[in-house]
Amino acid sequence: MKWKETTPIPPNELFIAADSPAFRESVALLLMRGAANMRSLSPLDYVHRCRRLWEKTKTDKFYSRKILFDEILSGNADEFYCATFAEIHVETDATGTHWKEPKDYNARRKPLDWPRFWKDFYRGTPVDKLRELRVANFAKYYDNAIDFVHYSETNRDWLNGELEKLIGTFTKAKPV
């Protein structure tokens, strides 16, 4: 059966009972736009791939919503990922309007070592992309990001050191 944008998605053929309505809707939208065909996957294989990404993406009390993205639909990239998002609140003061996390969100997030994330999920170095995107008016921000990439590459345990300063020495679990 050839899938087209107008083809109805038969839930019983592609989804399992445990799939949430949000997952079904997110996948159905991608399928209706032709993402499975563009990846040369059957709809069932595409749904399985989406489910693995969905299940691997963790949520918490505030970052409780997920959405799937398949950049192949834009024609610009071949990236495929799942992201979480939260409702935000807006505060306005003398300095302007600020978009913030929910007021009672207290989870301490680890500093994100995004250069290592980049290497796990993208081809090439983030430095090349940063140089490509660099705009003269904002050069210092791009240069700071490039400096951080070099720091991350030369200080492999910087994140553990920063966390130990905050919460104490790590103990490694013994294998069971």
Amino acid, single-letter form, for residue 127: V
Query: 111: pLDDT confidence band, cut at 50, 70 and 90?
Result: very low
Averaged over 140-145, what is the pLDDT? 86
Range of the domain at 131: 108-168
- Percent share of the chain, pLDDT over 90: 14
19 shares its domain with 101: yes
Q: What is the pLDDT of residues 121-130, one digit of tens each?
A: 677 778 888 8
Q: What is the pLDDT of residues 9-63, one digit of tens each?
A: 555 688 998 999 889 988 988 998 899 999 999 999 999 999 999 999 988 877 7
Could you say which of 53, 79, 106 is where a domain stops? 106
Could you say which of 106, 133, 149 is where a domain stops? 106
* DSSP codes of every residue in the chain: ----TTSPP-HHHH--TT--HHHHHHHHHHHHTTHHHHTT--HHHHHHHHHHHHHHS---SSS-EEEEEEGGGTTS---EEEEEE---EEEEETTEEEEES-TT----PPPP-HHHHHHHHSSS-HHHHHHHH--GGGHHHHHHHHHHHHHHHH-TTHHHHHHHHHH----PPPP-
114 shares its domain with 94: no
Burial 106-132 (b: 16+ CB within 10 A, else e): eeeeeeebebeebeeeeeeebbeebee
Position 130 scores a pLDDT of: 87
* 173 assigned to some structural domain: no
What is the spatial distance between Cα 119 and Cα 122, in angstroms, rounded to a whole number?
Answer: 6
130 shares its domain with 100: no
72 shares its domain with 114: no
* Cut 0.75: pTM above it: no
75 shares its domain with 134: no
67 shares its domain with 81: yes
Position 116 scores a pLDDT of: 67
6 shares its domain with 85: yes
- Percent share of the chain, pLDDT over 70: 65
Could you say which of 78, 106, 134 is where a domain stops? 106
Nearest to 46 by CA among 66, 68, 65: 68
